[in-house]
Amino acid sequence: MLTRRSLLQSMAAGAAIASPLMTGGLFAANRHNSSPKRIIFFLQNQGFDPATCVPEGMKRSGSLAGVKLPEPISPLEPFKDRLHIINGLHGMHTSPSHSAFFGALGGYRGGDGVPPSGSTIDYELSKVLPQTLLPHLCIGMDSIENMTTKPTLATLSATGAGQPIFMYSNPNHLYQMLYGGISTGDIRRQHEARSSVMTQIEQLASAKGQSLPGAEQQRYGQYVQGFRDVNGLRDRLETVSDHLRKFAPEVDSRYTKPEFETDWHDVLLDLGISSLTSGITNTLTIGSGRGEIFGAWKGLGIDQQGHNLGHMEQPGNPIWIKIRQYNSRMLVKIMEKLESVPEGSGTMMDNTLIVYTSNNADSQHTSGANWPVMLLGNFDGAFKTGCFTQLDGKRPINALYTSLLHAAGAPCDRFNMSDQLAKKFDSGNGPLSEVLTWICPQL
């Protein structure tokens, strides 16, 4: 049980604070040097063409030390020693054309309007990693119009079958949730007003739901629990308000008067980073395009937006070079910020893994036969870095997710894939030996 005393004890003063609610976790049972862990998923919609990330001329696995990264990911050039490019995974069973939606992180069949058929890997990792105030934060980036009219949207992450996790897309709402309790002026008043309304809704919903039939009452209870979770998080955050003041981003005109949608993208990223450095969460999912086929980047000088972007060839395309480089600069910003925070004998980045890919495999209209992925960081030495791995296309993205669970201390044979499905779509079993520096024994 989380108490004020335990929270404050685990948030001991000092710049080395990283995961304030660390309670051990299964990872410690399999590693002699236990440390806090965190993971970030960054998914760009419309596909990830391998030609935009695989160095020219590389046909086989090898080191990145002597090669030059393609122009779209060139901002990552100074970080090649922390980069692992993986080509040749597949996701044919997820039906990723236009988007696999929940299937991209779930490793199962997805589709527009199709509810999740199980939990997603980001949620499963949030359960295994050391406990935090907010186990899992999802943020989504889109056009200003979409982010304004739909400030929350659920298309990528889920806690289980039929249980989606919503992404925050309006940074003002997210700031109020995370830091409203330590703010002043209008932000504080809006936070208090919203908190009062949410409490009243929870109480009213709880009372009204009891009169519904059994089946409806169970489904209605999920909504009630959602309000309870939000209200409970608000109370827990206020308990550690002195600690959070050190990490709250500065609110400027980009929040209230964004010139372009990228202003909101940038501050959403800042909020996501602050949630990691403050220890509010250790699992962050970023959806650029929010898992759908839309999205806009007018702030980069790109007039085209939405579905049409997916019909453009990505290699050599100046539009996609701008979008991918923008993503890469975001990845660099995350790494540099985590690198600046001491943790244990190193920094927060030493204990972090960033997974960058697309919810569309290699292109918007795809069979999913190739699903490129980039890993950044080594998760306390668990993952190989500074290399390119070419696989044979016979192992699914589920195998990568199995590898993530192994590294987090929760080994399994397969993630979200039955033996029957594996016979058709997986040539192997267990994690990918090509990406891990060690294989965790079964618990």
Q: What is the CATH number of the domain that holds 401?
A: 3.40.720
Indicate if 349 and 393 belong to the same structural domain.
Answer: yes
Contacts of 322 (CB under 8 A, 6+ apart): 297, 300, 301, 302
Q: Is the pLDDT of residue 22 over 60?
A: no
Q: Is 202 helix (H, G, I), strand (E, B) or coil?
A: helix
Residue 31: is its pLDDT beyond 60?
A: no
Q: Residue 198 is encoded by which pair of tokens?
A: 């949410």
- Asked if residue 48 lies in contact with residue 315, where contact means CB atoms within 8 angstroms, the answer is no
Question: What are the pLDDT digits (tens) for 405-443?
Answer: 999 999 999 999 999 999 999 999 999 999 999 865 443
Residues 239 and 268 in one domain: no
Residues belonging to the chain:
443
208 and 322 co-located in one domain: no
pLDDT-derived band of residue 16, with 50, 70 and 90 as boundaries? very low
Q: Between 20 and 99, where is the model more confident?
A: 99
pLDDT in tens, 349-405: 999 999 999 999 999 999 999 999 999 999 999 999 999 999 999 999 999 999 999
Same domain for 268 and 232:
no
Q: Which residue has the higher pLDDT, 118 or 201?
A: 118
Whole domain around residue 214: which residue ranges?
Answer: 184-247
Q: How many CB atoms lie within 10 A of CB 12?
A: 10
In the chain, how many domains are there? 2
* Distance of alpha carbon 9 from alpha carbon 356, whole angstroms: 34
C-alpha–C-alpha distance, residues 393 and 384, integer Å: 20
Within a domain: residue 432? no
Please check whether residue 19 lies inside any domain of the structure. no
Query: CA triplet 154, 160, 287: central angle to 5 degrees?
Result: 30
Assess if residue 440 is contained within a domain: no
Assess whether 122 and 266 both reside in one domain: yes
Q: What is the pLDDT at residue 180?
A: 81
Residue 434 lies in a domain: no
Query: Do residues 401 and 340 share a domain?
Result: yes
Confidence of residue 229 (pLDDT cuts 50, 70, 90): low
Instruction: Examine the domain organization and report whether 192 and 324 are in the same domain.
Output: no
Residue 401 lies inside a defined structural domain of this protein: yes
